[in-house]
Chains A and B, each alone.
Chain A
Amino acid sequence: MAPAIALRGVAKRFPGYTALEDITLDIPAGRFLSIVGPSGCGKSTLLNMTAGLSRPSEGAIEIFGEELAGINRRASYMFQQEALLPWKTVRENIQLGLTFRGREGRAAAEQAAAWIHRVGLDGFAASYPYQLSGGMRKRVSMAQCWIVEPEMVLMDEPFAALDVHTRLRMQSEILALWTGSGKTVVFVTHDLEEAISLSDEVVVLSAGPASGMIGRYAVDLPRPRPLIDIKTEPRFVELYRAIWSDLRGEVLKSYERNRA
Protein backbone atom coordinates (compact mmCIF):
# COMPACT_ATOMS: atom_id res chain seq x y z
CA MET A 1 0.00 0.00 0.00
CA ALA A 2 1.23 3.51 -0.87
CA PRO A 3 2.36 5.58 2.11
CA ALA A 4 -0.12 8.12 3.44
CA ILE A 5 2.40 10.86 2.86
CA ALA A 6 5.47 10.63 0.68
CA LEU A 7 7.89 13.54 0.39
CA ARG A 8 10.09 13.12 -2.65
CA GLY A 9 13.14 15.37 -2.74
CA VAL A 10 11.14 18.32 -1.44
CA ALA A 11 12.80 21.74 -1.23
CA LYS A 12 11.32 25.09 -0.32
CA ARG A 13 12.92 28.36 -1.32
CA PHE A 14 11.65 31.76 -0.33
CA PRO A 15 13.04 34.82 -2.08
CA GLY A 16 16.57 35.07 -0.73
CA TYR A 17 16.25 32.16 1.72
CA THR A 18 16.25 28.41 1.31
CA ALA A 19 14.21 26.91 4.14
CA LEU A 20 14.24 23.20 3.29
CA GLU A 21 16.44 21.16 0.99
CA ASP A 22 16.00 17.65 -0.34
CA ILE A 23 13.57 16.13 2.15
CA THR A 24 12.64 12.58 1.34
CA LEU A 25 10.36 10.81 3.77
CA ASP A 26 7.67 8.12 3.62
CA ILE A 27 5.02 8.14 6.29
CA PRO A 28 2.98 4.92 6.26
CA ALA A 29 -0.74 5.16 6.95
CA GLY A 30 -1.61 4.93 10.62
CA ARG A 31 1.72 6.14 11.89
CA PHE A 32 2.20 8.76 14.59
CA LEU A 33 5.24 10.73 13.50
CA SER A 34 6.80 13.69 15.27
CA ILE A 35 9.06 16.31 13.76
CA VAL A 36 11.51 18.12 16.00
CA GLY A 37 14.06 20.75 15.13
CA PRO A 38 15.31 24.14 16.23
CA SER A 39 13.09 27.18 15.85
CA GLY A 40 12.98 28.48 12.29
CA CYS A 41 14.25 25.28 10.70
CA GLY A 42 11.16 24.81 8.52
CA LYS A 43 8.78 22.57 10.43
CA SER A 44 5.73 24.74 9.74
CA THR A 45 6.85 25.17 6.15
CA LEU A 46 6.90 21.38 5.78
CA LEU A 47 3.38 21.03 7.21
CA ASN A 48 2.09 23.85 5.00
CA MET A 49 3.31 21.97 1.95
CA THR A 50 1.84 18.70 3.17
CA ALA A 51 -1.48 20.49 3.69
CA GLY A 52 -1.29 21.73 0.11
CA LEU A 53 -1.32 25.38 1.16
CA SER A 54 2.05 26.01 -0.44
CA ARG A 55 3.90 24.29 -3.28
CA PRO A 56 7.34 22.76 -2.95
CA SER A 57 9.93 24.67 -4.96
CA GLU A 58 11.38 21.35 -5.98
CA GLY A 59 10.34 17.74 -5.64
CA ALA A 60 6.83 16.43 -5.09
CA ILE A 61 4.47 15.32 -2.36
CA GLU A 62 2.30 12.26 -2.78
CA ILE A 63 -0.76 11.52 -0.71
CA PHE A 64 -1.68 7.85 -0.83
CA GLY A 65 0.29 7.58 -4.05
CA GLU A 66 -1.31 10.56 -5.78
CA GLU A 67 0.66 13.69 -6.39
CA LEU A 68 -0.70 16.54 -4.34
CA ALA A 69 -2.07 19.45 -6.36
CA GLY A 70 -4.05 22.06 -4.48
CA ILE A 71 -5.45 21.56 -0.99
CA ASN A 72 -4.90 18.21 0.72
CA ARG A 73 -8.53 17.22 1.18
CA ARG A 74 -7.69 14.15 3.26
CA ALA A 75 -5.95 16.13 5.98
CA SER A 76 -6.91 18.28 8.92
CA TYR A 77 -4.42 20.95 9.91
CA MET A 78 -4.06 22.44 13.36
CA PHE A 79 -2.13 25.64 12.76
CA GLN A 80 0.62 26.99 14.99
CA GLN A 81 -1.01 30.43 14.89
CA GLU A 82 -4.47 31.48 16.03
CA ALA A 83 -6.79 30.15 13.37
CA LEU A 84 -10.27 30.20 14.88
CA LEU A 85 -12.94 32.30 13.23
CA PRO A 86 -13.31 35.18 15.72
CA TRP A 87 -16.94 35.81 14.72
CA LYS A 88 -18.06 32.29 15.53
CA THR A 89 -18.75 30.87 18.96
CA VAL A 90 -16.90 27.87 20.37
CA ARG A 91 -19.72 25.60 19.25
CA GLU A 92 -19.87 27.08 15.75
CA ASN A 93 -16.10 26.89 15.42
CA ILE A 94 -15.97 23.26 16.45
CA GLN A 95 -18.84 22.41 14.14
CA LEU A 96 -17.39 24.34 11.21
CA GLY A 97 -16.04 21.36 9.27
CA LEU A 98 -19.42 19.66 9.54
CA THR A 99 -21.19 22.85 8.43
CA PHE A 100 -18.96 23.03 5.36
CA ARG A 101 -19.91 19.44 4.53
CA GLY A 102 -23.57 20.33 4.77
CA ARG A 103 -24.04 18.39 7.98
CA GLU A 104 -26.21 20.48 10.25
CA GLY A 105 -29.06 19.88 12.66
CA ARG A 106 -29.40 17.59 15.67
CA ALA A 107 -26.72 15.01 14.91
CA ALA A 108 -24.08 17.63 14.17
CA ALA A 109 -24.99 19.59 17.30
CA GLU A 110 -24.69 16.48 19.44
CA GLN A 111 -21.34 15.66 17.93
CA ALA A 112 -20.12 19.20 18.64
CA ALA A 113 -21.39 18.97 22.22
CA ALA A 114 -19.45 15.73 22.71
CA TRP A 115 -16.30 17.43 21.47
CA ILE A 116 -16.82 20.47 23.66
CA HIS A 117 -16.97 18.10 26.60
CA ARG A 118 -13.97 16.13 25.44
CA VAL A 119 -11.73 19.19 25.30
CA GLY A 120 -13.00 20.38 28.67
CA LEU A 121 -14.93 23.44 27.51
CA ASP A 122 -18.37 22.68 28.95
CA GLY A 123 -20.06 25.98 29.68
CA PHE A 124 -18.10 27.84 27.01
CA ALA A 125 -20.11 26.67 24.00
CA ALA A 126 -21.57 30.12 23.41
CA SER A 127 -18.37 32.07 24.09
CA TYR A 128 -16.46 33.87 21.38
CA PRO A 129 -12.71 33.20 20.95
CA TYR A 130 -11.74 36.57 22.45
CA GLN A 131 -13.37 35.46 25.69
CA LEU A 132 -11.12 32.39 25.98
CA SER A 133 -7.56 31.96 27.17
CA GLY A 134 -4.84 30.99 24.70
CA GLY A 135 -4.87 27.39 25.89
CA MET A 136 -8.64 27.16 25.62
CA ARG A 137 -8.46 28.44 22.06
CA LYS A 138 -5.93 25.72 21.24
CA ARG A 139 -8.32 23.11 22.58
CA VAL A 140 -11.11 24.49 20.37
CA SER A 141 -8.75 24.22 17.39
CA MET A 142 -8.02 20.63 18.30
CA ALA A 143 -11.71 19.70 18.39
CA GLN A 144 -12.25 21.60 15.15
CA CYS A 145 -9.59 19.44 13.47
CA TRP A 146 -10.62 16.08 14.77
CA ILE A 147 -14.40 16.35 14.47
CA VAL A 148 -14.27 15.90 10.69
CA GLU A 149 -12.65 12.45 11.04
CA PRO A 150 -9.80 13.13 8.62
CA GLU A 151 -7.51 10.40 7.35
CA MET A 152 -4.50 12.38 8.48
CA VAL A 153 -3.97 15.11 11.04
CA LEU A 154 -1.19 17.68 10.84
CA MET A 155 -0.55 19.38 14.16
CA ASP A 156 1.87 22.26 14.62
CA GLU A 157 2.97 22.66 18.24
CA PRO A 158 -0.58 22.18 19.46
CA PHE A 159 0.21 22.06 23.16
CA ALA A 160 2.90 24.71 23.46
CA ALA A 161 0.51 27.11 25.21
CA LEU A 162 -0.91 24.64 27.73
CA ASP A 163 0.03 24.15 31.37
CA VAL A 164 1.59 20.83 32.33
CA HIS A 165 -1.64 19.34 33.63
CA THR A 166 -3.84 20.28 30.69
CA ARG A 167 -1.12 19.30 28.30
CA LEU A 168 -0.97 15.83 29.78
CA ARG A 169 -4.73 15.52 29.50
CA MET A 170 -4.69 16.61 25.88
CA GLN A 171 -1.83 14.27 25.07
CA SER A 172 -3.71 11.28 26.41
CA GLU A 173 -6.80 12.47 24.60
CA ILE A 174 -4.87 12.57 21.31
CA LEU A 175 -3.45 9.11 21.90
CA ALA A 176 -6.91 7.78 22.73
CA LEU A 177 -8.33 9.31 19.56
CA TRP A 178 -5.54 8.04 17.43
CA THR A 179 -5.21 4.52 18.84
CA GLY A 180 -6.94 2.06 16.55
CA SER A 181 -8.25 4.85 14.31
CA GLY A 182 -5.81 4.13 11.49
CA LYS A 183 -5.24 7.88 11.15
CA THR A 184 -1.84 9.23 10.25
CA VAL A 185 -0.59 11.97 12.54
CA VAL A 186 2.25 14.38 11.80
CA PHE A 187 3.05 16.18 14.99
CA VAL A 188 5.43 19.14 15.19
CA THR A 189 6.86 20.01 18.56
CA HIS A 190 10.05 21.33 20.06
CA ASP A 191 9.49 19.33 23.21
CA LEU A 192 11.51 16.17 22.69
CA GLU A 193 9.92 14.37 25.65
CA GLU A 194 6.51 14.97 24.16
CA ALA A 195 7.69 13.74 20.77
CA ILE A 196 9.05 10.49 22.17
CA SER A 197 6.20 9.71 24.52
CA LEU A 198 3.54 10.11 21.82
CA SER A 199 5.13 8.87 18.60
CA ASP A 200 6.05 5.78 16.65
CA GLU A 201 8.82 7.71 15.01
CA VAL A 202 10.73 10.95 15.58
CA VAL A 203 12.31 12.91 12.73
CA VAL A 204 15.00 15.49 13.48
CA LEU A 205 15.50 18.46 11.18
CA SER A 206 18.75 20.38 11.06
CA ALA A 207 19.09 24.10 11.68
CA GLY A 208 18.34 26.37 8.71
CA PRO A 209 19.09 27.57 6.14
CA ALA A 210 18.56 24.61 3.82
CA SER A 211 17.46 22.27 6.61
CA GLY A 212 17.42 18.61 5.93
CA MET A 213 16.59 15.48 7.85
CA ILE A 214 19.48 14.47 10.05
CA GLY A 215 17.89 11.62 11.93
CA ARG A 216 14.96 9.21 12.03
CA TYR A 217 14.31 7.29 15.20
CA ALA A 218 11.79 4.52 15.65
CA VAL A 219 10.26 4.71 19.12
CA ASP A 220 9.80 1.12 20.13
CA LEU A 221 8.13 1.76 23.47
CA PRO A 222 5.12 -0.52 23.97
CA ARG A 223 1.60 0.83 23.81
CA PRO A 224 -0.60 1.77 25.53
CA ARG A 225 1.82 4.15 27.16
CA PRO A 226 1.45 5.54 30.64
CA LEU A 227 2.29 9.16 29.83
CA ILE A 228 3.14 10.17 33.39
CA ASP A 229 5.59 7.41 34.17
CA ILE A 230 7.03 6.74 30.76
CA LYS A 231 9.69 9.43 31.06
CA THR A 232 11.62 7.47 33.65
CA GLU A 233 11.67 4.16 31.78
CA PRO A 234 15.20 3.10 30.75
CA ARG A 235 14.30 2.71 27.07
CA PHE A 236 12.78 6.21 27.04
CA VAL A 237 15.88 7.72 28.58
CA GLU A 238 18.08 5.90 26.11
CA LEU A 239 16.07 7.20 23.14
CA TYR A 240 16.02 10.66 24.61
CA ARG A 241 19.83 10.70 24.94
CA ALA A 242 20.31 9.45 21.40
CA ILE A 243 17.95 11.96 19.77
CA TRP A 244 19.06 14.82 21.97
CA SER A 245 22.68 14.30 20.95
CA ASP A 246 21.56 15.02 17.35
CA LEU A 247 19.22 17.81 18.25
CA ARG A 248 21.49 19.63 20.69
CA GLY A 249 24.08 20.38 18.03
CA GLU A 250 21.40 21.85 15.74
CA VAL A 251 19.82 23.91 18.47
CA LEU A 252 23.22 25.36 19.37
CA LYS A 253 23.99 26.07 15.70
CA SER A 254 20.66 27.81 15.25
CA TYR A 255 21.23 29.82 18.41
CA GLU A 256 24.71 30.91 17.32
CA ARG A 257 23.43 31.92 13.88
CA ASN A 258 20.60 33.97 15.27
CA ARG A 259 22.97 35.75 17.59
CA ALA A 260 25.46 36.53 14.85
Chain B
Amino acid sequence: MSETAPKRGPVLAWRIALGAAFLLAWQGGVNAKLLDKFFFSRPSDVIARVWMWIVSGTIWPHLAVTVTEALLSFTIGALLGIAGGFLLARLPWLAAVCDPYVKIANSLPRVVLAPIFLLWFGLGIWSKVALGVTVVFFIVFFNTYQGVREVDPVVLNNARMLGASERQLIRHVLIPSALTWIFSSLHVSIGFAIIAVVVGEYLGASKGIGYTIAQAEGVFDTTGVFAGMAILAAFVLLVGEGVSRLERWLLRWKPAAHGAGGDSRDNVV
Protein backbone atom coordinates (compact mmCIF):
# COMPACT_ATOMS: atom_id res chain seq x y z
CA MET B 1 0.00 0.00 0.00
CA SER B 2 2.31 2.69 1.25
CA GLU B 3 4.99 1.88 -1.32
CA THR B 4 2.64 2.66 -4.17
CA ALA B 5 0.90 5.59 -2.48
CA PRO B 6 1.41 8.80 -4.43
CA LYS B 7 3.53 11.59 -2.96
CA ARG B 8 1.61 14.12 -0.96
CA GLY B 9 2.88 17.38 -2.47
CA PRO B 10 2.02 16.84 -6.15
CA VAL B 11 -1.29 15.23 -5.23
CA LEU B 12 -2.30 18.27 -3.22
CA ALA B 13 -1.28 20.59 -6.07
CA TRP B 14 -3.31 18.61 -8.57
CA ARG B 15 -6.27 18.46 -6.22
CA ILE B 16 -6.30 22.23 -5.89
CA ALA B 17 -5.81 22.62 -9.64
CA LEU B 18 -8.76 20.34 -10.39
CA GLY B 19 -11.06 22.15 -7.97
CA ALA B 20 -9.97 25.55 -9.30
CA ALA B 21 -10.48 24.43 -12.91
CA PHE B 22 -14.00 23.27 -12.09
CA LEU B 23 -14.92 26.52 -10.37
CA LEU B 24 -13.35 28.60 -13.14
CA ALA B 25 -15.21 26.64 -15.82
CA TRP B 26 -18.44 27.15 -13.92
CA GLN B 27 -17.78 30.85 -13.38
CA GLY B 28 -16.65 31.34 -16.99
CA GLY B 29 -19.59 29.35 -18.35
CA VAL B 30 -22.07 31.57 -16.54
CA ASN B 31 -20.21 34.79 -17.43
CA ALA B 32 -20.12 33.76 -21.10
CA LYS B 33 -23.86 33.02 -20.87
CA LEU B 34 -23.35 29.36 -21.76
CA LEU B 35 -25.04 28.53 -18.45
CA ASP B 36 -28.11 30.32 -17.20
CA LYS B 37 -27.28 32.24 -14.05
CA PHE B 38 -30.84 31.77 -12.78
CA PHE B 39 -30.46 27.97 -12.69
CA PHE B 40 -26.75 27.62 -12.00
CA SER B 41 -25.79 30.69 -9.98
CA ARG B 42 -22.04 31.47 -9.91
CA PRO B 43 -19.13 30.49 -7.65
CA SER B 44 -18.40 34.13 -6.91
CA ASP B 45 -22.00 34.73 -5.89
CA VAL B 46 -22.05 31.59 -3.78
CA ILE B 47 -18.85 32.60 -2.00
CA ALA B 48 -20.22 36.09 -1.46
CA ARG B 49 -23.42 34.63 -0.02
CA VAL B 50 -21.57 32.31 2.33
CA TRP B 51 -19.43 35.22 3.45
CA MET B 52 -22.47 37.40 4.00
CA TRP B 53 -24.15 34.70 6.06
CA ILE B 54 -21.05 34.36 8.17
CA VAL B 55 -20.41 38.03 8.86
CA SER B 56 -24.06 38.85 9.41
CA GLY B 57 -24.29 35.86 11.71
CA THR B 58 -27.59 34.63 10.27
CA ILE B 59 -26.20 31.20 9.44
CA TRP B 60 -24.88 30.29 12.91
CA PRO B 61 -28.16 29.30 14.58
CA HIS B 62 -29.01 27.10 11.59
CA LEU B 63 -25.58 25.55 11.43
CA ALA B 64 -25.62 24.96 15.17
CA VAL B 65 -28.90 23.07 14.90
CA THR B 66 -27.72 20.91 12.00
CA VAL B 67 -24.37 20.19 13.65
CA THR B 68 -26.07 19.25 16.89
CA GLU B 69 -28.47 16.93 15.12
CA ALA B 70 -25.76 15.33 13.02
CA LEU B 71 -23.38 14.78 15.91
CA LEU B 72 -26.15 13.43 18.11
CA SER B 73 -27.33 10.96 15.49
CA PHE B 74 -23.75 10.03 14.66
CA THR B 75 -22.87 9.40 18.31
CA ILE B 76 -26.07 7.62 19.29
CA GLY B 77 -26.16 5.58 16.06
CA ALA B 78 -22.50 4.60 16.33
CA LEU B 79 -22.75 3.61 20.01
CA LEU B 80 -25.89 1.55 19.40
CA GLY B 81 -24.35 0.05 16.27
CA ILE B 82 -21.13 -0.95 18.03
CA ALA B 83 -23.02 -2.39 20.99
CA GLY B 84 -25.46 -4.26 18.74
CA GLY B 85 -22.69 -5.56 16.49
CA PHE B 86 -20.76 -6.88 19.47
CA LEU B 87 -23.79 -8.47 21.04
CA LEU B 88 -24.87 -10.36 17.94
CA ALA B 89 -21.32 -11.34 16.99
CA ARG B 90 -20.76 -12.84 20.46
CA LEU B 91 -24.16 -14.53 20.59
CA PRO B 92 -24.56 -16.47 17.32
CA TRP B 93 -27.89 -17.84 18.51
CA LEU B 94 -29.33 -14.35 18.97
CA ALA B 95 -27.85 -13.34 15.61
CA ALA B 96 -29.64 -16.22 13.88
CA VAL B 97 -32.94 -15.27 15.51
CA CYS B 98 -32.64 -11.58 14.68
CA ASP B 99 -31.22 -11.99 11.20
CA PRO B 100 -34.45 -11.63 9.14
CA TYR B 101 -35.66 -8.66 11.21
CA VAL B 102 -32.36 -6.85 10.85
CA LYS B 103 -32.55 -7.35 7.10
CA ILE B 104 -36.15 -6.14 6.95
CA ALA B 105 -35.41 -3.07 9.04
CA ASN B 106 -32.36 -2.24 6.95
CA SER B 107 -34.23 -2.59 3.68
CA LEU B 108 -36.68 0.21 4.56
CA PRO B 109 -35.94 3.40 2.64
CA ARG B 110 -35.20 5.93 5.37
CA VAL B 111 -36.92 8.83 3.63
CA VAL B 112 -40.33 7.24 4.15
CA LEU B 113 -39.62 7.19 7.88
CA ALA B 114 -39.10 10.94 8.01
CA PRO B 115 -42.82 11.90 8.11
CA ILE B 116 -43.48 9.25 10.75
CA PHE B 117 -40.66 10.55 12.90
CA LEU B 118 -42.05 14.05 12.47
CA LEU B 119 -45.33 12.76 13.86
CA TRP B 120 -43.67 10.89 16.70
CA PHE B 121 -40.97 13.32 17.74
CA GLY B 122 -42.31 16.68 16.50
CA LEU B 123 -40.72 19.41 14.43
CA GLY B 124 -37.71 19.87 16.73
CA ILE B 125 -34.29 18.25 16.52
CA TRP B 126 -35.28 14.79 17.77
CA SER B 127 -37.19 13.76 14.66
CA LYS B 128 -34.01 14.49 12.65
CA VAL B 129 -31.78 12.75 15.14
CA ALA B 130 -34.03 9.69 14.96
CA LEU B 131 -33.75 9.64 11.18
CA GLY B 132 -29.96 10.00 11.35
CA VAL B 133 -29.69 7.23 13.92
CA THR B 134 -31.54 4.75 11.71
CA VAL B 135 -29.00 5.41 8.98
CA VAL B 136 -25.83 5.43 11.08
CA PHE B 137 -26.85 2.48 13.22
CA PHE B 138 -27.02 -0.06 10.40
CA ILE B 139 -23.76 0.95 8.76
CA VAL B 140 -21.85 0.76 12.03
CA PHE B 141 -23.74 -2.31 13.16
CA PHE B 142 -22.90 -4.41 10.09
CA ASN B 143 -19.25 -3.37 10.12
CA THR B 144 -18.81 -4.05 13.82
CA TYR B 145 -20.50 -7.41 13.47
CA GLN B 146 -18.20 -8.32 10.60
CA GLY B 147 -15.12 -6.96 12.39
CA VAL B 148 -15.74 -8.94 15.55
CA ARG B 149 -16.36 -12.13 13.58
CA GLU B 150 -13.20 -11.69 11.52
CA VAL B 151 -10.88 -11.60 14.52
CA ASP B 152 -7.92 -13.92 14.05
CA PRO B 153 -8.78 -17.11 15.99
CA VAL B 154 -5.12 -17.74 16.85
CA VAL B 155 -4.76 -14.31 18.45
CA LEU B 156 -8.02 -14.88 20.30
CA ASN B 157 -6.88 -18.30 21.55
CA ASN B 158 -3.52 -16.90 22.55
CA ALA B 159 -5.22 -14.28 24.73
CA ARG B 160 -7.46 -16.94 26.26
CA MET B 161 -4.46 -19.15 27.02
CA LEU B 162 -2.80 -16.18 28.70
CA GLY B 163 -5.75 -16.03 31.06
CA ALA B 164 -8.06 -13.39 29.58
CA SER B 165 -11.60 -13.26 30.95
CA GLU B 166 -14.49 -12.63 28.57
CA ARG B 167 -14.40 -8.91 29.43
CA GLN B 168 -10.66 -8.74 28.91
CA LEU B 169 -11.06 -10.49 25.57
CA ILE B 170 -13.50 -7.82 24.47
CA ARG B 171 -11.29 -4.98 25.64
CA HIS B 172 -7.87 -6.26 24.56
CA VAL B 173 -8.70 -8.33 21.49
CA LEU B 174 -12.16 -7.88 20.01
CA ILE B 175 -12.46 -4.09 20.14
CA PRO B 176 -8.98 -3.36 18.75
CA SER B 177 -9.49 -5.99 16.09
CA ALA B 178 -12.87 -4.60 15.08
CA LEU B 179 -11.65 -0.98 15.13
CA THR B 180 -10.45 -1.09 11.53
CA TRP B 181 -13.90 -2.08 10.40
CA ILE B 182 -15.63 0.30 12.76
CA PHE B 183 -13.60 3.22 11.44
CA SER B 184 -14.29 2.47 7.84
CA SER B 185 -17.97 2.61 8.74
CA LEU B 186 -17.58 5.85 10.69
CA HIS B 187 -16.16 7.60 7.65
CA VAL B 188 -19.19 6.67 5.62
CA SER B 189 -21.75 7.14 8.34
CA ILE B 190 -20.76 10.69 9.30
CA GLY B 191 -21.66 11.75 5.76
CA PHE B 192 -24.91 9.83 5.86
CA ALA B 193 -25.78 11.26 9.26
CA ILE B 194 -25.57 14.74 7.81
CA ILE B 195 -27.54 13.79 4.72
CA ALA B 196 -30.25 12.23 6.88
CA VAL B 197 -30.69 15.18 9.23
CA VAL B 198 -30.67 17.63 6.32
CA VAL B 199 -33.36 15.58 4.57
CA GLY B 200 -35.29 15.65 7.83
CA GLU B 201 -34.95 19.41 8.06
CA TYR B 202 -35.88 19.75 4.45
CA LEU B 203 -39.14 17.90 5.00
CA GLY B 204 -40.21 19.77 8.08
CA ALA B 205 -38.33 22.04 10.42
CA SER B 206 -38.03 25.63 11.52
CA LYS B 207 -34.25 25.72 11.74
CA GLY B 208 -31.18 24.12 10.20
CA ILE B 209 -29.20 24.15 6.98
CA GLY B 210 -31.73 21.84 5.32
CA TYR B 211 -34.45 24.30 6.25
CA THR B 212 -32.36 27.17 4.84
CA ILE B 213 -31.91 25.31 1.57
CA ALA B 214 -35.61 24.50 1.38
CA GLN B 215 -36.41 28.20 1.95
CA ALA B 216 -34.01 29.24 -0.80
CA GLU B 217 -35.50 26.70 -3.18
CA GLY B 218 -38.96 27.99 -2.38
CA VAL B 219 -38.01 31.35 -3.87
CA PHE B 220 -35.82 29.91 -6.67
CA ASP B 221 -32.72 31.30 -5.01
CA THR B 222 -30.12 28.92 -6.49
CA THR B 223 -27.27 30.88 -4.92
CA GLY B 224 -28.74 30.21 -1.49
CA VAL B 225 -29.09 26.50 -2.28
CA PHE B 226 -25.47 26.20 -3.38
CA ALA B 227 -24.27 28.25 -0.42
CA GLY B 228 -26.07 25.86 1.93
CA MET B 229 -24.50 22.89 0.16
CA ALA B 230 -21.04 24.45 0.40
CA ILE B 231 -21.40 24.89 4.15
CA LEU B 232 -22.54 21.29 4.53
CA ALA B 233 -19.60 20.04 2.46
CA ALA B 234 -17.15 22.01 4.60
CA PHE B 235 -18.67 20.51 7.72
CA VAL B 236 -18.47 16.95 6.36
CA LEU B 237 -14.80 17.43 5.41
CA LEU B 238 -13.99 18.85 8.83
CA VAL B 239 -15.59 15.99 10.76
CA GLY B 240 -14.11 13.47 8.32
CA GLU B 241 -10.66 14.85 9.01
CA GLY B 242 -11.32 14.58 12.74
CA VAL B 243 -12.31 10.93 12.34
CA SER B 244 -9.21 10.29 10.20
CA ARG B 245 -6.93 11.74 12.87
CA LEU B 246 -8.53 9.67 15.58
CA GLU B 247 -8.22 6.64 13.33
CA ARG B 248 -4.55 7.27 12.59
CA TRP B 249 -3.88 7.47 16.29
CA LEU B 250 -5.94 4.46 17.33
CA LEU B 251 -4.67 2.32 14.45
CA ARG B 252 -1.03 3.37 14.80
CA TRP B 253 -0.12 -0.31 15.15
CA LYS B 254 -1.06 -0.91 11.53
CA PRO B 255 1.64 -0.48 8.90
CA ALA B 256 -0.79 0.98 6.33
CA ALA B 257 -1.81 3.81 8.65
CA HIS B 258 1.73 5.18 8.46
CA GLY B 259 1.71 5.57 4.67
CA ALA B 260 2.64 8.95 3.21
CA GLY B 261 -0.36 9.19 0.89
CA GLY B 262 -3.84 10.25 1.91
CA ASP B 263 -6.23 7.67 3.26
CA SER B 264 -8.20 6.34 0.33
CA ARG B 265 -11.36 6.21 2.39
CA ASP B 266 -11.13 9.83 3.54
CA ASN B 267 -13.67 11.27 1.20
CA VAL B 268 -15.94 8.40 0.31
CA VAL B 269 -18.94 10.48 1.32
- Cα separation A100 to B250 with both chains bound (whole Å): 21
Q: Which residues in A have their C-beta under 8 angstroms from that of B168?
A: 99-100
Which residues 68-82 in A have Cβ within 8 Å of B in the complex? 71-73, 75-77, 79, 81-82
Instruction: Say whether A83 contacts B163, CB under 8 Å.
Output: no
Instruction: Say whether A73 contacts B254, CB under 8 Å.
Output: no
Dominant secondary structure at the B interface: helix
Binds B, one of A84-92, A187-195, A215-223: A84-92
Q: Which residues of A contact B (CB under 8 A)?
A: 51, 53, 71-73, 75-77, 79, 81-89, 96-97, 99-101, 128-130, 144, 148
- Cα separation A51 to B157 with both chains bound (whole Å): 10
- Cα separation A51 to B258 with both chains bound (whole Å): 37
Q: Which residues of B contact A (CB under 8 A)?
A: 154-155, 157-165, 168, 172-173, 176-177, 179, 251-255
Instruction: Say whether B164 contacts A85, CB under 8 Å.
Output: no
Instruction: Say whether B160 contacts A71, CB under 8 Å.
Output: yes
Q: Which single member of A51, A97, A129, A130 contacts B163 (CB below 8 Å)?
A: A97
Given A96-B172, A100-B164, A130-B255, answer yes or no on A85-B159 (Cβ-Cβ < 8 Å): yes
Instruction: Say whether B255 contacts A96, CB under 8 Å.
Output: no
- Cα separation A238 to B120 with both chains bound (whole Å): 86
In the complex, residue of chain B having the shortest beta-carbon distance to the beta carbon of A129: B253
Instruction: Say whether A88 contacts B162, CB under 8 Å.
Output: no
Q: Which residues in A have their C-beta under 8 angstroms from that of B160?
A: 53, 71
Instruction: Say whether B254 contacts A144, CB under 8 Å.
Output: no
- Cα separation A102 to B222 with both chains bound (whole Å): 63
Instruction: Say whether A85 contacts B163, CB under 8 Å.
Output: no
Q: How far is the CB of A72 from chain B (nearest CB, A)?
A: 8
Instruction: Say whether B162 contacts A144, CB under 8 Å.
Output: yes
Instruction: Say whether A77 contacts B254, CB under 8 Å.
Output: no
